[in-house]
């Protein structure tokens, strides 16, 4: 009959040794979990926001906002998403987050700098949502941030998205942003909706501000293919104090067809109640040689004070015939003095 061996003490020793080594690891893991709890929560909320239905995304954005400043990088990161709903929810979360910060709160400057650094990586929907945050970004008063924010308008104005280009116009109009110079190229945009928005923004001069585009630049919009653009352009010129006669002459002066610009010379030759000197000087710089030569002739007929300009034309006009004509009328002008 065999006898069972006595229990060995080796197994409890192994267990105690294992516990001695694993307990610190477990404690460290728990401590790390507690320490990273906020970061894990931010990550979890962002994941749920991306996966949620449109009517639930706002809830998760508010949960992110409730975390406070540590959630800013994650909220800005959501502007890289191609889903407009995600980007709009992220914008709402940021608006909620910064709403209670005082104007001089240093967190505003920190947020603005993070926003400016993250902006180049925004998607098209993200940039659209972010444009609405520019007034809050610029409230920090930092010059470098302001420079980057205005660059964001210029980038949006070059976007392939028609809606984003129109939004760039609307954002540039806001007094806090003051970036109208970034949307000047949109006066020649291929899309009529963009041109309408641009001429409406750039035509009138508001509150005594300096004009971003000159009257002469604006006059070219009088020849736009779209009648609404032409109407808005005329409204803008009238708001600048230009009379219907000024606008009529300006339309002829900027006509794409040289024959129309030559007809303007006939109008100026017969115009009795107008100082034609400015118009004639402009026409002596016309792209068409026949218009330049005609302007030299009318200058003498109307006794306009353009001797110096005619002398310059007689020496440096790119067309030899125009140089000879200008010299002839320059001499005729001298003889009539």
CB neighbour class for 301 (10 Å; exposed up to 12, middle 13-18, buried from 19): middle
Which residues are CB-neighbours of 228 under 8 A, at least 6 positions away? 192, 196
- pLDDT at 149 (0 to 100): 87
Report the C-alpha gap between 171 and 150 in whole angstroms.
Answer: 10
pLDDT at 25 over 90: no
Reported as a single tens digit per residue, the pLDDT across 300-310 is: 998 898 999 99
CA-to-CA distance for 46 and 89, rounded, in angstroms?
10
**What are the tokens at 249?**
């002459």
Q: Quick one: which of 96, 142, 89 has its CA closest to 115? A: 142
Q: How far apart are CA 135 and CA 150, in angstroms?
A: 11
Query: Are 24 and 30 within 8 A, CB to CB?
Result: no
**pTM for this predicted structure:** 0.80
Q: What is the pLDDT of residues 97-106, one digit of tens each?
A: 998 888 888 9
- Alpha carbon distance 200, 49 (integer Å): 38
**Residue-level pLDDT at 32:** 39
Give the separation between CA 124 and CA 115, rounded to whole angstroms.
15
Helix ranges restricted to H, the chain: 10-35, 37-51, 54-67, 72-77, 84-98, 106-118, 124-131, 134-138, 143-157, 162-173, 192-202, 215-219, 227-239, 244-253, 258-270, 277-283, 289-301, 307-316, 320-335
273 or 102: whose pLDDT is higher? 102
User: CA 259, 262, 267, 273 torsion: positive or negative?
Assistant: positive
What pLDDT score was predicted for residue 170? Answer: 94
CB proximity list for 247: less than 8 A, separation 6 or greater: 222, 234, 237, 238
């Amino acid at each position: 009959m065999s006898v069972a061996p006595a229990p060995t003490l080796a197994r409890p020793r192994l267990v105690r040794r294992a516990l001695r080594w694993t307990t610190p690891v477990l404690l460290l893991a728990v401590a790390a979990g507690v320490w990273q709890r906020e970061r894990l929560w931010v990550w979890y909320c962002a994941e749920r926001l991306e996966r949620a239905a449109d009517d639930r995304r706002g809830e998760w954005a508010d949960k992110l906002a409730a975390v406070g400043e540590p959630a800013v990088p994650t909220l800005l990161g959501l502007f890289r998403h191609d889903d407009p709903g995600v980007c709009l929810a992220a914008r709402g979360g940021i608006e909620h987050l910064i709403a209670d910060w005082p104007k001089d709160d240093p967190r505003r400057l920190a947020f603005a700098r993070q926003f400016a650094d993250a902006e180049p990586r925004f998607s098209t929907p993200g940039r659209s949502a972010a444009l609405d945050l520019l007034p809050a970004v610029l409230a920090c008063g930092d010059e470098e941030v302001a420079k980057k924010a205005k660059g964001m308008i210029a980038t949006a104005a070059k976007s392939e998205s028609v809606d984003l280009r129109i939004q760039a116009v609307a954002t540039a109009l806001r007094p806090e942003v003051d970036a109208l110079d970034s949307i000047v190229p949109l006066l020649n945009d291929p899309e009529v909706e963009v041109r309408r928005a641009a001429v409406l923004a750039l035509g009138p001069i508001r509150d005594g501000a300096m004009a971003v585009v000159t009257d002469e630049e604006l006059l070219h919009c009088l020849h736009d293919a779209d009648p609404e653009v032409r109407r808005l352009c005329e409204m803008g010129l009238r708001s600048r104090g230009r009379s219907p006669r000024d606008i009529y002459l300006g339309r002829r002066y900027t006509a794409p067809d040289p024959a129309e610009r030559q007809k303007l010379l006939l109008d100026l030759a017969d115009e009795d109640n107008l100082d034609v000197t400015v118009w004639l000087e402009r026409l002596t710089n016309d792209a068409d040689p026949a218009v330049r030569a005609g302007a030299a002739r009318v200058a003498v007929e109307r006794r306009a004070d353009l001797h110096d300009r005619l002398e310059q034309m007689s020496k440096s006009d790119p067309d030899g015939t125009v140089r000879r004509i200008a010299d002839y009328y320059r001499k005729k002008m001298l003889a009539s003095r």
